Every structure is written in C-alpha cells, then in structure tokens.
Structure 1
Amino acid sequence: MCGRYGRYTPGERFAGIIKGTVSTRFTDDVRYNRPPGTFQLIGLLNPDDGATTLGPAWWSFIPSWATDTKLSPVNARSETAAEKKMFAKAFAHQRCVVAADYWIEWSRDGDENQPYAIRPADGEPFFFAGIWSKASRLPDDHSAAGEVTFAILTAEPNADIAHIHKRQPQALTNAGARSWIDPDMDAGQAQEILQDERHSSYESWPIAPRVGSPKNDDPAILDRVELG
C-alpha cells in the first residue's frame, strides 16, 4: 500500500517530465510527510481542453456519485481496478499521475513496525500511477466538495523491496507517466504500461518512527537509522 509519501522537488520540474503546465490554483509546497485527506500535486489531461495540467487534488478517491466519504480509499489494487464498480470508469478514462520523491512504508517485525523510505534507484523525482474522480455530490462544507480526488494504484512489490511490505505503489518511469494519462488508451494498454513502464529497481533505508505522525514534517525524517 501507500499511505504516506514526500515531495520536495518543485512542481515545475514535474510539469517538464509530462510536458504540461502547472495550474494557477496550485501553491507549491515542500512537505516530507504527506498524509491522505490533503491536497497534493497530480497531473492529468484536462477533459475540458485536452491540455496536460498539474494541479491540486484531494488524496482519497471519492466517486462522483458519493454523498459522503464512507467510501474514500487512498489506494486501489492495479490488478483489479478495471473490474471494480468504484474504479472501472476512472481506470478506463480518468487516469492521473501523482508527483513524488519517495514514499514511506512500514515493515512489521513481530510487534514492532519499522518505517522505511523508498524511491527508484536513480534517486530522481517520479510519478505514481493514479486514478481520479470529481467529488461532485459531497456537502459544500467538505474540503473536497467539487474537487478532483485521487487514489494511488498499488501492485506486488519489486524483489528488492519485497522484504518491507507485500504491496508497493506503481512508480512509473517518465515515459510511462506520459503514456498513463492518455485517456484514449484502453484498459488493456493501461495494464501494459503498469507492467512495462514501472521502475525496475529501488533503494530503501530505515528511518525513525517519528514519521508516523504527519506533524513531523521536516528533512530529518529521511535520516537513516541503525537497526538493532
């Protein structure tokens, strides 16, 4: 799964990767500990004008028909998303990419949870594969009312990080990110992108448990710790 990640690279750098522009609604920010239920930077092809745009979206997928957030997953399994009623439309036509520099995952060892920072082995900024939906029917007093919302797609982990967790987010290559947001690509082609254009190697290192609280949001959370 992916329940926490970080992004410190400026939005314009990500815009260059997918040859898009940053929305005027987006206020760039540096955060090292990004939790669900917050606005984050994603890229998609705008259905109104076909332009590749990066802008703020709510991290928790809220279907357009939902009147509350009882169903608002932060992740979706890429193997089955095309078949699930909640995700099928988005997987087919509303794909997005989520800007990131790394993600955080917890490995369970007995009664202890050890967090790790993980990123592609090249250390460069990248995108997660995601799906989006507009929260059209939420009450007006909800922060995500009328906004684009998203979930990050997950899959079986790569061999070099399988010891940490049984799932990982779909971290796309630059070419894969550009292809993924093409709404004319069918579900079968989309699955091929997830298989052929996911990063093939990763680096990871243990970090301090303080990352468990999103209030701890500073570069020091990425410091490597020694395991006993």
Structure 2
Amino acid sequence: MCGRYATTKSNADLSQLFEAVDVAEPLRASWNVAPTSAVPLVRMSAEHDGRVLDTALWGLVPHWAKDLKAGGRMINARAETVTELRSFAPSFAKRRCLVPADGWFEWVRDGKQKQAFYMTPADGSTLAFAGIWSAWGPESVLTCSVITTAALGGLTKVHERMPLILPADRWGDWLAGGGDAAELLRPLSASDLDAIEVRPVGPAVGNVRNNGPELIDADTKVTLF
C-alpha cells in the first residue's frame, strides 16, 4: 500500500531530471500527497515525440467508469495482478508512467497506537515510482496509479507492501510500452533498498489538511524498531 507520499521538486527540476518536456501545471510542493490529489508524472507523448512532465489525479479512473470518484479506490495497482485486471491491464500495456516522489509514508500499529514512518533516500535523491495512467471523459482528464510490490529488507518491518521503485537505467524500457512484464515489474534488490532511510515522524501527517516540511522531520522520541 502507498497511501501518502511527498513530492516537492519544481517543474524545472523534474523536467531536467527526467529529460522531459514540461507540459504540467505549475507544481506546488506537497509533503502530504493524498488520494485524488493532482500529482506530477512523466509519460511518453507522440505530440512531443518523447517524454513529457505532466499532471494527473492520483487514482486511476478507467475510461468506462461513470465518474472520477472511482479513482479514490484505485490509487495503487499490485504488480502481481496489474497485467490481468480489466481496470489496469490496458494502461500497463500502453500507458505506463513514472511518478516522482521524495519519499512515502506508512503506519505501524502497536495496540491502539499508530506510528507514522517516512521512507526516503538517505542522499535526498528523487524516487521514480512505477505508474500507469489513463484519460477519462470528454475532457481527457489524466489519472494515474502507483504500482506496488512486496516489501523487502528492513522495509518489511513497516509494511508488507511498497511502491515499485525504478532506477534511472530502467526508465526508458518502462516508458516504451511492450516488453517482458516479469522484467519490467522486477523489484529492486534488498541490498539496493539499504539506501532508503526509514524515519519515524510525528502524527500530524495523518491529517490530510496538514502540509509542510515539518511533516517529514524525525520524531526523536521514537526508537526505530
């Protein structure tokens, strides 16, 4: 599950990092991205003959859905079934994207208490979540889902699932369309994930109305596992 994440880089920073033409709405930094929010993504565009930085609503809405409300239930697509399910398979085949993120949040329950954790690269680099997108309705509203996979290494202590993270050398194949599904959906190794810091943070991130850099500050009162 990936239900909240942070993405704070500017249009200029992301378009440079992903070598993409910027066609996105002006991006606002968010340390508490929630389902149905407008988020940046990188996709292929025939019109621009290559990659574009675009904006989509988080929560994929299939073209046959009655309204955009369906997206709230489809923020994640499981790697194990994304090639099979009617809602996701067409997008996996033809409309894959990268979803830039600084990191993501999960919660660990201990009795009646819940502790929030923020997973982020220790070196401050930007993550690229594997995603899929679709266009809905006469106005072709873009929507997207983040693909999740089984957690590995130390991340299993926080949650059994995690976003499928793609390193830069796999971006081209992911965006190209086609390809071998098993290879495309291959997770990083447990050793690769050692570069991900697991940081306990305060409870404020649990409220979608809260948004600011303080949400990712380490909670020094919490002992990490």
TM-score if structure 1 supplies the norm length? Answer: 0.87
Match of 1:178 among 172, 177, 198: 172
CA distance in structure 2 between the partners assigned to 1:41 and 1:191 by the alignment = 21
Q: Which residue of 2 aligns with 1:33?
A: 32
CA distance in structure 2 between the partners assigned to 1:184 and 1:43 by the alignment = 17
Q: Which residue of 2 aligns with 1:77?
A: 78
Say yes or no: does 1:7 pair with 2:7: yes
1:224 alignment partner AA: A
Equivalence map 1:106-125=2 (5 Å): 106-125=107-126
Q: Which residue of 1 aligns with 2:153?
A: 159
Q: How many residues align?
A: 218
Say yes or no: does 1:227 pair with 2:225: no
Aligned partner of residue 61 in structure 1, secondary structure: coil
How far apart are residue 99 of structure 1 and its match?
1.1
Contact 2:164 2:185 in 1 (8 A): no
CA distance in structure 2 between the partners assigned to 1:13 and 1:45 by the alignment = 18
Aligned partner of residue 9 in structure 1, secondary structure: coil
CA distance in structure 1 between the partners assigned to 2:148 and 2:102 by the alignment = 17
CA distance in structure 1 between the partners assigned to 2:204 and 2:81 by the alignment = 33
How far apart are residue 88 of structure 1 and its match?
0.8
Equivalence map 1:128-207=2 (5 Å): 128-136=129-137, 146-192=140-186, 194=187, 199-201=192-194, 202-207=196-201
Unaligned runs of 5+ in 1: 138-144
RMSD: 2.0
Contact 2:118 2:216 in 1 (8 A): yes
Structure-2 change in CA distance of 1:84 and 1:172 (3 Å): same
Moved over 3 A (4+): 47-50
Moved more, 145-154 or 37-46: 145-154
Deviations 1:101-149 (A, max 9, x none): 1111111222221111101343311211101111126xxxxxxx52110
CA distance in structure 2 between the partners assigned to 1:67 and 1:48 by the alignment = 28
Identity level (%): 29
Unaligned runs of 5+ in 2: none
Aligned partner of residue 14 in structure 2, secondary structure: helix
